[in-house]
Amino acid sequence: MKKEFLAALACLFLLSPMAAQEAPIRISTHETDLILTVAPNGRLYQSYLGKRLAHEADLAHLSRHTEVYPGSGAEDYFEPTLAVTHTDGNPTTILSYLSSNTRKVDDNVTETLVFLKDKVYPVEVTLHYVAYGKENIIKAWSEIKHHEKKPVDIWRYASNMLYFERASYYLTEFSGDWAKEVRMSTQELQFGKKIIDTKLGSRAAMHTYPFFELGLDGPPREDSGDVLLGTIGWTGNFQFTFEVDNNGDLRLLSGINPYASTYQLKPDEVFTTPEFIFTLSDSGRGKASRNIHDWAREYQLKDGKGDRLTLLNNWEATGFNFDEQKLEELMKEAKTLGVDMFLLDDGWFANKYPRANDRAGLGDWDVTRTKLPNGVPHLVKAAKEAGVKFGIWIEPEMVNPKSELFEKHPDWVIHQPNREAYYFRNQLVLDLSNPQVQDYVFGIVDKLMTENPDLAYFKWDCNSPITNIYSPYLKEKQNHLYIDHVRGVYKVFERVKNKYPNLPMMLCSGGGARCDYEALKYFTEFWCSDNTDPVERLYIQWGFSQFFPTKSMSAHVTSWNKKTSIKFRTDVAMMCKLGFDISLKEMDEKEQTYCRQAVAHYNRLKDVILNGDFYRLVSPYETNHTAVMHANRNQSKAVLYVYDIYPRYGEKLLPVKLQGLDASKTYKVEEINLLPETRSRLQSNGKTYTGDYLMKVGLPVFSTASTNSRIIELTQQ
C-alpha cells in the first residue's frame, strides 16, 4: 500500500468523531429496542435487543456484548459476518466505527445508517436499519465496498447479525418438498452451529424456507413468551446461521448463502446484501405473525392494501389437455360460480415443439396454433363475453432443450459446456445474469400485454432449481452466477412492475417454493402448494400464515382428496385468497349451489378476510382439529373457520376461545357456507354473546365427525 494512502487513511480516522464519546445508537419500534454502542477501542457492539426501554438514561447502564458486524481474522472465533481477501492476500478485516445518523422517514418509520471502516485496508461497510414503529418490524441490511487498487474477493457477506443472551433457544424451522410445503418442527439449539440454507439457486425454497421462528427462554408458543420471527428477502440461495457460543449466547447471522459464491468486488462497486426482516414479540408467534402481516400489507406486498381477484384455474381441471371449446366452457363456469377471472395454465404455447406435456416447448411463447387457432386475443375476448377477466400462466425463466429458443440461443442457458446435462422436470434455467436474457424474459410479458391489453393477471411459475451450474455469459466469473442470476431476476421483475404497476401477479414455483419478501414486492400473491388436499392444506396454510397475510396465499378448491366434501374443500380455501381449479361438471346441483353461495359470502366478507387481523386459535399440530379467525380492525365483524380433521371416537371437545373481539361489544353468531337444504347444528347459531364471553368461555364448535368444517360469521349488534 502506498505511503500517501496510509497517511490519508490515518488522517481520516483522526478526523472522525472520538468513538468512545459516541452516544448509543438506538434503533426502536414502539415495542422493541436494538441498541448498539461504540467501545473505547472504536469498534461497534450490540448492547441490547429486547423490549423497548422506557428511560433513555438507562442506555448508559448497558454493557457491550458481541461486535455488530465482525470481520474474519479478528479476535472473535465464531462465524464472521464479513470476510475479504485483500489484494495483498491478507484475509483479515476489522471494522471501526466512523459515524451514524438516523432520519425520520415519516411518523412511523425511521432509518438508521451506521458507517464502518477498516483502519488498515480501505474497506467500508454501511449498516442499514429501517424501523417500523407500529408494526414492530426492523429491516436490516449492509452495503460493502472498498477502494483497493484491484478487485478483492469477498467470501462472507451477511446482511446482519443479532446476538442473544438467554437461558435457552428453540428454533422452529420450515422444511418441505413438492406437495409437502412448510412442515414445522422445533428443536433446542445447543452449543455449535445449526445452519438453514439452500443451494438450489432458483426454486430456492423447495426444501427449506427463507424464514424461521426463534423461541427465547423456551419453545415458541402461540400466545405467550418471547419469540423472534425472521425472514430474508432473497429469491435465491439464502443462509441463516444459529451459533451458540462458549458462553451459551446465540449469534444469528442472515444473508445470501456464500456457497460457491466468492464474489470479486471491483473498487468502488457497492455490494448490497438482501434485507433481513424481523420482529420480536413478547406475546408469542401469533402477535409476531400479525406484526409481519400488517407490515407486509402496508409496505411490502405488491398492492398490499388492494383487492384480490377470485378465479377459476384450469390446471387441475384439464392439465395440458384442452382446446378453445373446453376453455370457453370453463370461462362460462367461472361466471356461473361468480368468480372474477378465468386463469389459463400451462400448455397454451409453442409450435415447432408444442407444449403438449412438460417435455417440450418451454421458451417458445407463441400460442400453439393447432390447439388454439385464434390465439390469446380470442381467449381474452371469449372471457369478456362470458363476463369474467382473463389471466395467463407463464414460466419465462426456463427452457426445455426441446424448444426453438434452445436451438437458437444455447448460450442463453445455464448448462455445462463439457458435461452431460441433468434435467429437472425436463428443463433448464435461463441465464438471467445476461442482460440480453433479461430483455427476452421481460419481452414475454410485454408482448403478451401489448397484444392483449385486457390481460388481467399473470401466474409466474418457476419449476426448476438451477442445475448444471455454468453460465456461458459470466465466463471466468462463475462464482457470481448464483448472485447475479437473482439480481437479473429482480431487474426483470422491476421492469414488469414499472410498466404494469396495477397488474396482479401470482408467484408460483412448482407449488410454494418461492415465497420471500423481496419477490413479493412484485407479486400480489403466491401459490402455496400443488397439494390441494384440504387436510394437507390446513397444515400448509397454518405454516405459511406464520409469515404471510392470508390475502397473499392462493388457495384453490380442487378434486384432490375427493373423499372430503366440496364444502370442506371450499371452507379450507376460504380463509386465504380463494380460487377454484375444478370443473362444475364434477359437482352435482347442490354442490354447485353451495360453491356459488360460498363465493358470494367470500365477496361479501372480503374486507375482513383479506384485511382483517388473523388469529390462529387451535393448532392442527397439537389436536385433531384446527380453528383460525379473521377480525376486522374496528372489531365489528369476524369470521371463524373451524375444522375437525380426524377426531378420535368419543374424544373430549373443548370450546374454541375467540380472539381479536371487543370484550364490551355484543356479537351475533351465524353459521354460513351451509350445504343447500341443511341447517346449522350449532347451538350458538343465531344467538348473541359478548366479546368477553366469546374470548373467555368460547364456543363449542368442534365435532367428532371427520373432515367436517364450519364457517361462522360474527357481527356486532
Calpha distance 706→603 (Å, rounded): 28
- Cβ proximity to ligand DGJ: between 226 and 345 the closer is 345
Q: Are residues 397 and 363 in contact, defined by beta-carbon separation less than 8 angstroms?
A: no
The alpha carbon of 243 is separated from its chain's Cα centroid by a whole number of angstroms, namely 24
- Cβ proximity to ligand DGJ: between 393 and 406 the closer is 393
Residue 360 C-beta: closest distance to ligand DGJ, Å: 13
Residue 395 C-beta: closest distance to ligand DGJ, Å: 7
- Cβ proximity to ligand DGJ: between 284 and 510 the closer is 510
Residues in the chain: 717
Q: Which grid cell is 629?
A: 379467525
- Cβ proximity to ligand DGJ: between 211 and 315 the closer is 315
Chain position carrying cell 459515524: 99
Calpha distance 684→677 (Å, rounded): 19
- Cβ proximity to ligand DGJ: between 212 and 315 the closer is 315
Calpha distance 465→424 (Å, rounded): 7
Residue 666 C-beta: closest distance to ligand DGJ, Å: 44
Q: Which grid cell is 107?
A: 411518523
Q: Are residues 237 and 465 in contact, defined by beta-carbon separation less than 8 angstroms?
A: no
**Three-state SS annotation for 137-154:** EEEEEEEEEECCCCCEEE
- Cβ proximity to ligand DGJ: between 315 and 544 the closer is 315
Residue 438 C-beta: closest distance to ligand DGJ, Å: 23
Of 455, 550, 557, 437, the C-alpha closest to 499 is 455
Residue 541 C-beta: closest distance to ligand DGJ, Å: 16
Q: Which grid cell is 668?
A: 351475533
In sequence order, what DSSP letters do the residues of 516-552 get, joined into one string? Answer: -TTGGGS-SEEE--S---HHHHHHHHHHHTTTS-GGG
Query: Are β-strands 505-507 and 455-460 bridged in parallel, bridged antiparallel, or unpaired?
Result: parallel
Residue 508 C-beta: closest distance to ligand DGJ, Å: 5
- Cβ proximity to ligand DGJ: between 258 and 504 the closer is 504
Q: Which grid cell is 702?
A: 368442534
Residue 40 C-beta: closest distance to ligand DGJ, Å: 56
Calpha distance 247→414 (Å, rounded): 45
Cross-strand bridge partners of residue 250 = 164, 244
Q: Which grid cell is 643?
A: 375444522
Residue 116 C-beta: closest distance to ligand DGJ, Å: 43
**∠ CA(172), CA(178), CA(180), 5° rounding?**
45
Contact footprint for ligand DGJ (CB under 6 A): 315, 345-346, 393, 461, 463, 508, 510-511, 527, 530
- Cβ proximity to ligand DGJ: between 556 and 567 the closer is 556
Q: Which grid cell is 259?
A: 456457497
Residue 361 C-beta: closest distance to ligand DGJ, Å: 11
Instruction: Classify residue 686 as left (phi > 0), alpha (psi -120 to 50) or beta.
Output: left
For residue 596, the surrounding DSSP H or E stretch is: helix 589-611
- Cβ proximity to ligand DGJ: between 220 and 511 the closer is 511
- Cβ proximity to ligand DGJ: between 556 and 625 the closer is 556
Residue 393 C-beta: closest distance to ligand DGJ, Å: 6
- Cβ proximity to ligand DGJ: between 238 and 527 the closer is 527
- Cβ proximity to ligand DGJ: between 333 and 345 the closer is 345
Of 490, 434, 433, 430, the C-alpha closest to 466 is 430
Q: Which amino acid is at 688?
A: T
- Cβ proximity to ligand DGJ: between 81 and 467 the closer is 467
Residue 62 C-beta: closest distance to ligand DGJ, Å: 49
Residue 175 C-beta: closest distance to ligand DGJ, Å: 18
Please enumerate in sequence order all residues whose Cβ is within 8 A of that of 414, keeping only pairs 6 or more positions apart, or say none. Answer: 428, 429, 430, 431, 466, 467, 468, 469, 470, 471, 481, 485
* Residue 596 burial (CB count, 10 A): 16
Return the half-sphere exposure (C-beta side, CA atoms, 13 A cut-off) of residue 604: 13
Calpha distance 700→653 (Å, rounded): 8
Calpha distance 688→694 (Å, rounded): 10
Residue 348 C-beta: closest distance to ligand DGJ, Å: 11
Q: Which grid cell is 192?
A: 455449535
Residue 511 C-beta: closest distance to ligand DGJ, Å: 5
Handedness of CA 521, 523, 526, 527 (dihedral sign): negative
- Cβ proximity to ligand DGJ: between 257 and 524 the closer is 524
Closest residue to ligand DGJ, based on beta-carbon distance:
346
- Cβ proximity to ligand DGJ: between 577 and 601 the closer is 577
Residue 315 C-beta: closest distance to ligand DGJ, Å: 5
Residue 645 C-beta: closest distance to ligand DGJ, Å: 24
Calpha distance 406→400 (Å, rounded): 7
- Cβ proximity to ligand DGJ: between 135 and 346 the closer is 346
Instruction: Classify residue 408 as left (phi > 0), alpha (psi -120 to 50) or beta.
Output: alpha
